[in-house]
Structure 1
Amino acid sequence: HREVLPHIQSRYIDTGQVRFIYRNFPTSNAAIRGAVAARCAGDLYYKMLDVLFARVGAWAEADDVDRALIQQAAALNIDEEDFYACINDPSQDQAIIAVQLQAKTEFDIIGTPTFVVNGKVVRGKKTVEQIDALINKAL
C-alpha cells in the first residue's frame, strides 16, 4: 500500500488504464476494526486507508484500538460522534466479514497481500516491476 500503490495510482489508475478495487481481508481483530474504520470514513475511505497503513503501529497495537481509530478519524476531520456510532454498529463488522468470505469463496484468497488481475489471482508481496509486468500483460 505504501510502496507499490502510489506507482500503480500514478501510472495506471490516474491515466484511466486500470480500475482499482480495494477489498478488505483482515487477518486479525485489530485489522477488522481498521477495515470498519475505513468504511465509516465514508467519502474519505481511501484517505483513511492511507492514514491507517501509514500509522498501523499506532492503532493496531494500541490498548484501545477503537479509541486510536477515532483519533485517526479526527485527524481527517471526520465527525467523532458519527464515526463512533458507525464503528460500534455490529453490521459494519458483519459487512467486512462477508466481503472476506466472498474473497475466499470466489478467488480462494487465503491471506494478504493478494491481487486479482483480470481474474488471475496473484499472491504475495510484489515489487513495482512485478506489478508492472502483471498489469502490462493484462493490458
Structure 2
Amino acid sequence: MRNILIVAGGVVAVAAIAAGVYFGTRPPAAGPAPVAAASAPNKAALESVQPGDHVLGDPKAPITVIEYASLTCSHCAHFHTQVLPEIKKKWIDTGKVKLVYRDFPLDQVAAKAAQIAECAGNDKYFGVIDLIFRSQPQWAVTSDPVTELAKPLRIAGLGENEIKACLANEAMSNAVINDYKGGETMGVNSTPTLFINGQLYRGARSVDELDGVFAKLAK
C-alpha cells in the first residue's frame, strides 16, 4: 500500500502533482478493518456513480466498489492483474457488483499515465488501464516512463503523437486532478483504497476477502 508523504504536518497539496513533485512512499502495511461510510455530503460519492466516473459492469448492480488507485502503485497493479479478473468473473459479469475506478496518483508519473488513460475514451478505458498495470514493471521506473508506456499502448491506438496531444489537454488533466481532490475529501491517503457500499477498506485485499464481503452484502 502506498502512502502520501507527509510534509510540514499536512498532506502535500494536489497542486504538487501538476508541478511534478514526487510524493514519495512508505513501506506497505496491512489494511485495517472497514470503517463506517462518511456522512453527507460525501456519502453519495462513496455509494453511487458520479458524473465522469468510469464504471466496470452494470451501473445498476446493487453492490458498488469504488477504487482509488495510482498507476505506479505495485499493490494496485497486483489487484488489477491478479484479484480483479477473478472478482470480475464471479461478481461483476453476473451483474451483482460494479467497479467504479477513480484516480489517486501519488506521483507525477502516475498522474501522466492516468491522463493518458482518460484520453483513451470510455470504450477503451478499462482495457488501457489493464495494459498500463500489466506493463507497469517495464515503464514505471525507467528514466523516460512516458516513452516506454507508449510502446504497449500502441495496440490501443495511442501512439507517441496521440500521447503528446493528450498530455497537453487541460480537460484530461483536470479529470485526474478532480478524482484526486475527491479522494482527499473522503479520507483517501493511500492506494489501493476501496469503498464497498460506503465502507472503507485500505490496502491490498485478496479474492477470498472480497468474496466474503460481497457474499454478506448479497444476502
Question: Structure 2 length as normaliser, TM-score?
Answer: 0.59
Offset of residue 79 of structure 1: 5.3
**Structure 2: which 5+ runs fail to align?**
1-79
Q: Which has the higher contact order (CA 8 A, sep 6+)?
A: 2
Quote the Cα distance in structure 1 between the aligned partners of 2:159 and 2:150. Answer: 9
Amino acid at match of 1:38: A
Partner of 1:65: 145
Larger Rg: 2
Q: Percentage identity across aligned positions?
A: 32
Quote the Cα distance in structure 2 between the aligned partners of 1:119 and 1:66. Answer: 34
Quote the Cα distance in structure 1 between the aligned partners of 2:141 and 2:91. Answer: 34
Partner of 1:41: 120
Report Cα offsets for 1:63-117 as digits up to 9, x if no partner. 2222222223213233553333112223322321211110121x21111111110
- Greater strand proportion: 2
Quote the Cα distance in structure 2 between the aligned partners of 1:58 and 1:110. Answer: 26
Q: Is this contact kept in 2: 1:4–1:128, CA < 8 A?
A: yes
SS of 2:158's equivalent?
Answer: coil
Structure-to-structure mapping, 1:97-136, within 5 angstroms: 97-105=177-185, 107-136=186-215
Amino acid at match of 1:20: L
Report the CA distance shift for 1:114/1:9 in structure 2 as closer, same or farther (over 3 A). Answer: same
RMSD of aligned C-alpha atoms? 1.6
SS of 1:19's equivalent?
Answer: strand
Report Cα offsets for 1:31-83 as digits up to 9, x if no partner. 11111121111121111111111111222112222222222321323355333
Q: Is this contact kept in 1: 2:150–2:159, CA < 8 A?
A: no
Number of equivalent positions: 138
1:81 and 2:157 correspond: no
SS of 1:16's equivalent?
Answer: coil
Q: Which of 74, 90, 95 is the equivalent residue of 1:16? A: 95
**Structure 1: which 5+ runs fail to align?**
none
SS of 1:23's equivalent?
Answer: strand
1:7 and 2:86 correspond: yes
